[in-house]
Amino acid sequence: MTRARNRELLALIPVALLLTAGFAAVFAQDHSKLGNLSLTYGAYFFAVCLATHIYLRIRLPHADPYLFPLMALLTAFGLVMIYRIDESLARDQANWFVFGLVLFALTIQFLRDYEVLERYRYIIATAGILLLLAPRLPGIGEQVNGAYLGVKIGPISFQPSEFAKLAIVVFLASYLRENREVLIVGARRVLGVTLPPLKHFGPMLVVWGASMLLLVFIRDLGTSLMFFAAFLALLYVATGRFSFVVIGMILFLLGAWFIVATVPHVHERVEIWLHPYNEAQNSGYQILQSIFAQADGGLFGKGFGQALITVPGTHDTMLPAAQTDTIYSLIVNELGLFGACGLIATYLLITARGFKVALLANDGFSKLLATGLTAVFAIQAFVIIGGVTRVIPLTGVTLPFVSYGGSSIVANFVLLALLLLVSDRARREAEAGTVPVERDEPLGATA
């Protein structure tokens, strides 16, 4: 599959050029910095990506040729925007980018036979749950804006939910591959709705209960929505029964309504979403400034470095959390609607390639794993973009590869490594014309 790897290499060249042009545009706002520095940054970025490409050419020659360049594009975009906000943050992000690529390579090296994850699914699930609960542990848990999102151990600080999402997806893919048949064969129709057998309905109830617990215990709306939506996507792919998804959505909506009505913090988040002008100078300030910044950008934006992040002449914040929660608003303000559409199109292309990997996979676990990883990635992007545009309540998740955050970029490179592992096997088997023997019936849509 030399042609595929050549396409990957050719796609990386414009990504490096775009990074160089982005830094040049930022430096142009400060004539004292205008020089060869943007070329240097572009060369460093291309060198790191080239090294990764060579590794993929050796280890995964059949893997999808577009996933890595697309995610490199998002990373380049994020580095330019973060540098525009704070040079030191951009340097940290660049270091996390390199570390993420190292972990990316190690994942490929030691998980070439990724089906080994099935054997340890309960251990992986336990680790994922512990990671989710870690922010509430005394001494290490960190509270941010009312939600328990981070863990700080000495000088190390990270968001465990970024890694927990991978563990949960691996567990669900493995469990549903093994139990999908009993969910279909034992199902009954009641009032025109297909219901799975009660004794096998437990996992859905457990995941539903866990997502509600997240709302109460760590007060993280975004993580709860992300996990549950990924579960419903996996459930539908595993069984082909849309009625199961409808049941899950009804359960989630009922639980969310109850939590919103009874948990003050969640109720406050929803009220800010619905009525931000009631507290325009307090709790509604962030979302309102986010909307104003996007409106101010217009179609083509104000230009790099032109957005007002702080009030001129003061240190007062005009666009809160510009490097994390509202980085999409900053992008819209500086690059306009067209720039925002380009960013969203990149996420859509990654999602399409991820689901294509799932379609090509021949065995149930690979298909479900690729589906779950792609779904959780796409939903995470939707949750944060939907939050800053007031489609849904604003939450604390990061915009994958773009927002500042070491945990996010590292975890997403592990996610990319797993997708490429599935892709390499699927494309290799398709090229050879061989189909592996499944341990049970292959996945397929059921009416």
Place of tokens 């609960």: 133
Residue in 237, 224, 225, 234 with CA at minimum distance from that of residue 203: 234
Res 147: pLDDT: 66
302, exposed or middle or buried, with CB in 10 Å at 0-12, 13-18, 19+? middle
Task: Determine which of 51-65, 181-195, 399-413, 431-445 has the lowest per-residue pLDDT on average.
Answer: 431-445
Res 203: pLDDT: 63
Mean pLDDT of 291-311: 85
Alpha-carbon distance of 227 to 223, in angstroms, equals 6
Q: How many percent of the chain have pLDDT more than 70?
A: 85
Question: What band does 126 get if pLDDT is binned at 50, 70 and 90?
Answer: confident
Tell whether the model's pLDDT for residue 311 goes beyond 80. Answer: no
Alpha-carbon distance of 307 to 329, in angstroms, equals 10
Show the 3-state SS of the chain. Answer: CHHHHHHHHHHHHHHHHHHHHHHHHHHHCCHHHCCCHHHHHHHHHHHHHHHHHHHHHHHCCCCCCCHHHHHHHHHHHHHHHHHHHCHHHHHHHHHHHHHHHHHHHHHHHHCCCCCHHHHCHHHHHHHHHHHHHHHHCCCCEEEECCEEEEEEECCEEECCHHHHHHHHHHHHHHHHHHHHHHHHHCCEEECCEEECCHHHCHHHHHHHHHHHHHHHHCCCHHHHHHHHHHHHHHHHHHHCCHHHHHHHHHHHHHHHHHHHHHCHHHHHHHHHHHCHHHHCCCCCHHHHHHHHHHHHHCCCCCCCCCCCCECCCCCCECCCCCCCCCHHHHHHHHHHHHHHHHHHHHHHHHHHHHHHHHHHCCCHHHHHHHHHHHHHHHHHHHHHHHHHCCCCCCCCCCCCCCCCCHHHHHHHHHHHHHHHHHHHHHHHHHHHCCCCCCCCCCCCCCC
Res 132: pLDDT: 82
Task: Determine which of 75-89, 210-224, 293-307 has the lowest per-residue pLDDT on average.
Answer: 210-224
Question: What band does 429 get if pLDDT is binned at 50, 70 and 90?
Answer: confident
Cβ neighbours of 344 (radius 10 Å): 14
Domain ranges within the chain, ordered by starting residue: 2-432
CB burial string 187-199: b at 16+ within 10 A, e below: beeeeeebbbeee
Tokens describing residue 341: 């559409």
Tell whether the model's pLDDT for residue 401 goes beyond 90. Answer: yes
Higher pLDDT, 440 or 112: 112
Mean pLDDT of 100-114: 94
| pTM confidence score | 0.90
Sign of CA dihedral 125, 411, 14, 105: negative
Mean pLDDT of 326-346: 93
Alpha-carbon distance of 23 to 11, in angstroms, equals 19
Higher pLDDT, 436 or 54: 54
Res 185: pLDDT: 64
Tell whether the model's pLDDT for residue 256 goes beyond 60. Answer: yes
> What is the per-residue pLDDT across 186-236, written as a single tens digit (0 to 9) for each?
566 665 556 666 566 666 567 666 766 766 677 677 777 888 888 888 888
Alpha-carbon distance of 29 to 27, in angstroms, equals 5
> What is the per-residue pLDDT across 152-174, written as a single tens digit (0 to 9) for each?
887 778 888 889 889 989 988 98
Q: How many percent of the chain have pLDDT more than 90?
A: 41
Higher pLDDT, 66 or 217: 66
Task: Determine which of 109-118, 204-213, 390-399 has the lowest per-residue pLDDT on average.
Answer: 204-213
Assess contact for 307 and 333: CB atoms under 8 A. yes
Q: Give the mean pLDDT of the chain.
A: 84
Res 104: pLDDT: 97
